[in-house]
Structure 1
């Protein structure tokens, strides 16, 4: 459920005793802590014109009702990207009683940067020193008491995966919220920077801009456009901004670098100094060595190829075996019962035949595609995510991503696109510019999602062989490279640098993997099954009434003439806009009805070459309606329609060329 951000924040603020905001970078277990604190009943909210979501929930703690705002994971509180802007905006608009900063105990200095920004804002803060178990493995012994003294805030050691320390964390937040009037911070930058901040602070003191004068001083010196605009609207705003610019020039002359860069450097230096005072030396452990192996091109690329080979082999052998098993068992034991029951109740007329299309052939198609390929892929994706391997892939592929006008962090939504394009496109919010998000989203629509993988494996590898199936993937990867490089040259601008934590490798917890797998697969169960059922009956009605061939005939020039496919197969491609795996499921349904329930029906219905072209076209062309909808929401409908038109044209062009090459050289 989504609410407008302002109404959602107002609602949660007004219905709770205290409101806490969870902040931190994307890889410190913030989401795990949020889920453990809140459980069910989570709502999402968007700021007008922004696509990055806030997660909002309430929880009860010792007879007190507490609202939790899960801010977008980010590395700073600037206004560079949407995640940073939304996190900062939520803090200013909601004014939470306490900000709970989640820190990575294995990389303290890097995490202290944003905590210092929160301290600059002057709001009450409690910090969770998370991943403390991983830090101890590295012999990183952090003196949390000394860290608390230096920062002037409570520090609680936590382990998000087990829930350790969370009760104490919330208790500290409640205590801080009750006593926030006595909060004062003593962190300072270098003397000259502090002198200039105080100089501007004194100028701002008589005015009320709804923000701490020190925080506003720093924002103005950092040349923050949002706050320059805010001050500029004041009657004395012009003179204040002129004074800020004058002070900024003095800092630049002294340090010979831009003031925003100097302040950032001071903040990084302060974070490093604090970290060195409270922690011991780092002891490398096995996961660090694994990280080094997976991120070095010499060893990382062969490992990545090996991982992809394992995934494909697992899907090919395991998926094909499961698909054949389901088909055979269904044809032997289930299909006769369903057919007899429908004939008994509805007779053998057109209604009975249409119902058989849905409840026999349709359900068989859904099971024979969904469980062997979709479910197994989601399981493997969850394993790779929880192990931390996807983050090392981001570092490994950073140089390659720059050829597409992206950076290594973009590889995570691209890999996620192999599961489902919808959350992958939403995941492009981690990219800082619309240019990067447009390029990444276009490439994601070309990545074979689990539904399209089901078509490739269920139609090509099962009936034609694994080599043609691999060939389709190679063609798609080549297209992704060409399209990415082309968009990078055509679209103005350039990619930003990679900023990401070194997330430690760890053995995934099977319970978390199973939860993630089911969370993703339940969409297939509850959404895809009804669509397959209804789609199969609609197709059955068209088939039994004879209209199927009439509707297919207008497609003949392109489908038969150019692609070399049966016209009716082209009709299933149109149906597949609802869900991509529906193309294969309806094709299987047609084959089952026409030729019976054996495992080799598709080869009776289409030639190996036609199955190859069919799967290739289905993989490339326009994504499903859910992907189209999220493209429109994330990028705007102009860009969404442009991507749709491009992929349709590309699919028809590549499909026709492939058909002619296969026919000319007799490849299949």
Structure 2
């Protein structure tokens, strides 16, 4: 995942042919990227997912092609993070050709972006995607006529099944190699065209290098649209003041003639042109199905939407706890029966019964056993469930349904998307807050994301509380965290300056999920988790083994006793595992199980020999609330700055200790 200027510049230098993929959110752009490159970019049926730029290479008929996947965006501007990232990548990367993926069922809205890119002078090819859905809705799109009207190649595709992608790449390569590609220049109203022509003529006469190598017409349009970067470039020219004065005068004439600012007028005419082209190329042969409307009413009306959401959550947790427990029991039993005896015998034969051999067994035997008991079964199950919810489009309905609730926290329904994504991993969820308009909203949402139990913390809740204490206490932890998060949101909404903005978001259709697609993105997520988490678990287990077997554990745990034993009511050594868990949250339970195995041997009830049920509950609650992990702190610092990152981290630590201490005392009273 790459987004910095240096990486894009290197991609531009090294690739013989550079292909950029652009498009609105949820048009299948990432599916095209996955099919072309084989890189598992996670695709989902909701907005605000792809915020960074992905770079990859692929081979097509023995030719190497660089592929750039841009964030899903409705326009190339600078009014939001996704627009700004896409704009920077296109202008700095200078791709040989841009493939704009458009939704055949929503052509009017989707054509705005390719018209804007034509205005900027890019070579285009259009991927007319989702033609199968358009067919089912009774729509027929004349791709040949659309190609004539736009002056660029148009290729019908069904990206999720790979249909039409070979033809798409062939058309893109032909367009990239063309000496003078044929393209239609979008034409607007007479006053706009006169202003553009006059400014373009002045820019050409100035005999200066235009920004990003754009043609004079493109720069003239950007000046009339009051683009900040282009205006800053013009100010540095010898004749810059005169050019800016001419642009402002032309913009004022357009505004006076239409009673609205020039940038809005140009955007309105571009939207009108997109609608006009769409009407010329589409034919409706039958009435659209009312099934989508029924689905939306069912999932977004409060009377039915909230009970349905509750049912989905109950089903999610029931599946997670049942399947995770089944896989955990199966995997650990297989390991203990087939692998553990041989590993123990080999280590004892090589290193004997001393501290060195016992320390190594902490990592290679107990550490792997702990990973099989917690990380793999519960995280894999959760990612599979998340893929189902994403591919169906249900998360979009959740965003709409929760909008009134989110406003009470100073946010809006679109913030529900990063929060739900946080249930998978807090790191991309915090990056996903870029879709929010203000820094206030991003700080609020990022704080709540940090309190959202990610898949690693869910693995601890399921692997410890649900397995050893019961499913009801496990659900209680989620309810406690939700209540604390709601209270934190209310408090921050009062403290942080500014106010919340309204919600305008596109409601995407429900779609039949692709089994292959769901399995592919589940594997992509899970593979990344295993590759990162397993070495950390093994290293952490080995380090804890060395500390334990050499007796250093007591030097580390004695200072923790007043807080861990006195306030939280936990064994002091459990505090050490919580500190290790800053690396990976599931590491806390895995190291705790490693301790139990080392002290009591293997068996299903090892953790209950080490801690009672009340302590397990308190331990999981504290682990769920405090700093998600070091990677989350790093991305908080990158997105919000170190000061805010440290404040959010300190807040979560204080909240975790307070909640843990209170829980310990309440459990003692109820005992």
Q: What TM-score comes out, normalization by structure 2 length?
A: 0.91
Residue 373 of structure 1 and its aligned partner are, at CA, apart by 0.7
Alignment match, 1:225? 228
Look up the match of 2:248.
245
Q: Which residue of 2 aligns with 1:559?
A: 564
Give the Cα separation in 1 of the matches to 2:406 and 2:196: 40
Aligned to 2:164: 165
Q: In 2 relative to 1, CA 544–431 (structure 1 residues): closer, same or farther, beyond 3 Å?
A: same
Partners of 2:642 and 2:369 lie apart in 1 by 36
1:483-562 matches, within 5 Å, as: 483-562=488-567
The answer to whether residue 195 in structure 2 is matched with residue 190 in structure 1 is no
1:9–1:562: structure 2 CA closer, same or farther, 3 Å change rule?
Answer: same
Task: Report the equivalent of 2:27.
Answer: 28
Q: Show structure 2 runs of 5+ residues with no match.
A: 42-49
Structure 2 residue 614 is the aligned partner of structure 1 residue 609: yes
Q: Does 1:293 align with 2:298?
A: yes
Cα pair 1:221 1:245 within 8 Å, conserved: yes
SS in 2 for 1:53: coil
Paired residues of 1:563 and 1:655 also in contact (CA < 8 A): yes
Q: Partner of 2:603: helix, strand, or coil?
A: coil
Find the counterpart in structure 2 of residue 254 from structure 1.
257
Instruction: Tell me, yes or no, if the aligned pair for 1:27 and 1:501 is still in contact at 8 Å.
Output: no
The residue that corresponds to 2:111 in the other structure is: 112
Q: Counterparts of 1:21 and 1:499 in 2: how far apart (Å)?
A: 27
**Could you tell me how far 1:15 is from its partner in structure 2?**
4.0
1:515-664 equivalent positions in 2, closer than 5 A: 515-664=520-669
Quote the residue 2:101 is aligned against.
102
SS of residue in 2 equivalent to 1:127: strand
Q: Structure 1 residues 133, 285: closer, same or farther in 2, change over 3 A?
A: farther
Indicate yes or no: 2:365 matched with 1:360: yes
Separation in 2 of the partners of 1:360 and 1:15? 46
The residue number in structure 2 matching 1:86 is: 85
Instruction: Tell me if structure 2 keeps the 8 A contact 1:346–1:352.
Output: yes
- Structure-to-structure mapping, 1:95-494, within 5 angstroms: 95-179=94-178, 181=180, 183-207=182-206, 208=208, 209-210=210-211, 211-281=214-284, 283-284=288-289, 286-328=291-333, 330-331=335-336, 334-494=339-499
Residues 540, 637 of structure 1: alpha-carbon distance in 2 compared, 3 angstrom cutoff: same
Map Cα deviations across residues 399-433 of structure 1 (whole Å, 9 max, x no partner).
33333343333322221211122222233333344
More deviation in 161-170 or 33-42? 33-42
The question of whether the paired residues in 1 share the 8 Å contact of 2:12 and 2:95 is answered with no
Tell me if the contact between 1:327 and 1:599 (Cα under 8 Å) persists in the aligned partners: no
More deviation, 282-291/548-557: 282-291
Secondary structure of the corresponding residue to residue 161 of structure 1 = helix
Per-residue displacement from partner, 1:78-105 (whole Å, max 9, x unpaired)? Answer: 1112321232233323333322111011
Which residue of structure 2 lines up, in the alignment, with residue 48 of structure 1? Answer: none
Preserved CA contact (<8 Å) 1:54 1:69? yes
Alpha-carbon distance between aligned partners in 1 of 2:552 and 2:185, rounded to the nearest angstrom: 79
Describe the SS at the equivalent of 2:476: helix
Q: Report the Cα offset of residue 288 of structure 1.
A: 4.9
User: Aligned-pair distance for 1:180?
Assistant: 5.2
TM-score (norm 1): 0.92
CA contact (8 A) 2:149 2:184 kept: no
SS across alignment from 2:20: strand
Counterpart of 2:102 in 1: which secondary structure? strand
Q: Offset of 1:30 from its aligned partner?
A: 1.0
Separation in 2, partners of 1:533, 1:6: 35
**Residue 306 of structure 1, CA deviation:** 1.4
Alpha-carbon distance between aligned partners in 1 of 2:96 and 2:502, rounded to the nearest angstrom: 34
Q: Secondary structure at the match of 1:106?
A: helix
Moved more, 126-135 or 113-122: 113-122
Give 2:45's aligned residue: none
Q: Please say if residues 21 and 99 of structure 2, whose CA atoms lie closer than 8 Å, have aligned partners that are also in contact.
A: yes
Shift of 1:333: 5.5
Contact 2:359/2:545, CA 8 A, preserved across alignment: yes
1:267-322 deviation per Cα after TM superposition (whole angstroms, max 9, x unaligned)? 22222222222223461254453244323333222222211111100112222233
Aligned residues: 657
Query: Secondary structure of the residue that 2:141 maps to in structure 1?
Result: coil
Write the distance in 2 (CA, Å) between the matches of 1:164 and 1:9.
32
Task: Assess if the C-alpha contact under 8 Å between 2:123 and 2:181 holds in 1.
Answer: no
Match of 2:44 in 1: none
CA contact (8 A) 2:557 2:573 kept: yes
- Indicate conservation of the 8 Å contact 2:31/2:160, yes or no: yes
The alpha-carbon distance between structure 1 residues 533 and 41, as it changes in their structure 2 partners (threshold 3 A), is closer
> Which residue pairs with 2:56 in the alignment?
57
**Equivalence for 1:46:** none
CA distance in 2 between counterparts of 1:468 and 1:482 reads 21
- Is it true that 1:9 corresponds to 2:9 in the alignment? yes
- Is the contact between residue 34 and residue 40 of structure 2 (CA under 8 Å) also seen in structure 1? no
The 3-state SS of whatever aligns with 1:404 is: coil
Contact in 2 for aligned 1:24/1:75 (Cα 8 Å): yes
Instruction: Give the whole-Å Cα distance in 1 for the aligned partners of 2:548 and 2:403.
Output: 50
- CA apart distance, 1:13: 4.2
For the residue of structure 2 that corresponds to 1:508, the secondary structure is coil
Shift of 1:239: 2.2
Q: Deviations over 1:463-502 (max 9, x none)?
A: 1111111111011111222222333333333445545444
Distance 1:467 1:4 in 2: 46
- 8 Å CA contact retained: 2:40, 2:520: no
CA separation of 1:243 and 1:486: change in aligned 2, threshold 3 A: farther
Residue 37 of structure 1 corresponds to which residue in structure 2?
A: 36
Greater RCO (Cα-Cα under 8 Å, separation 6 or more): 2
With over 3 angstroms needed to count, the CA separation of the structure-2 counterparts of 1:272 and 1:482, relative to structure 1, is farther
